[in-house]
Structure 1
């Protein structure tokens, strides 16, 4: 299986457990690793034979903007679900969601999930 990376994708989402987090969207950073078969695209040089990175980014941005989860875990789960639903060639997703600057003594807080296509 081959791999596509999208790194440090900035998205905005209303997310957080505490009341002070629920008043305005928070900036998040996404690192996405997609497991796909890139062989068809190597032969055809046609975007329809691979995963359109721009569409993946738009999908993740849309999920983030429309969601109002409390937990990063719930948001990441929804994002992975949408990727599997919208992109049939994706076989594996690893997604790291970072929430920089949320803790006073930490530069970043992040979760990472990896799922195989059901």
Structure 2
């Protein structure tokens, strides 16, 4: 399998269990990779023969704009949409990081990573 990666997607969103997190919001960083066979697009040089990374970025931004209590929940929604909308994708991994989380200490970020394969 071949890999397409989108790294360091930055968004401002409203995820968290604390009321202030959903009111004030926070900065997030998302890394996403998908596995697909890219042989055809490598030969054809035609966008419709590959997994469009603009579509992947739109999925991330759409799902990050919908508040969730847990990062795991938003990451799962991202993966669900990828598999629903992009049939060439055989596997995907998404890492969602909350920057400067409200932990009462000096923590750069907290993150979760989910990986899924097509059934």
If the TM-score is normalised by the length of the shorter chain, which range does it land in? over 0.9
Matched residue count? 117
Alignment match, 2:112: 111
The answer for unaligned runs of 5 or more in structure 1 is none
**Counterpart Cα distance in 1 of 2:12 and 2:50:** 27
Superposed CA deviations along residues 78-114 of structure 1, whole A, max 9, x for unmatched, are 1100111111111101100010101332111000010
**Counterpart Cα distance in 2 of 1:40 and 1:59:** 24
Q: 1:109 is paired with a residue of what secondary structure?
A: strand
Deviation at 1:24, TM superposition (A): 3.2
Deviation at 1:13, TM superposition (A): 2.3
TM-score by length of 1: 0.94
**Counterpart Cα distance in 1 of 2:24 and 2:47:** 37
Q: Are the counterparts in 2 of residues 14 and 22 from structure 1 also a CA contact under 8 Å? A: yes
TM-score by length of 2: 0.93
- Root-mean-square deviation (CA), in Å? 1.0
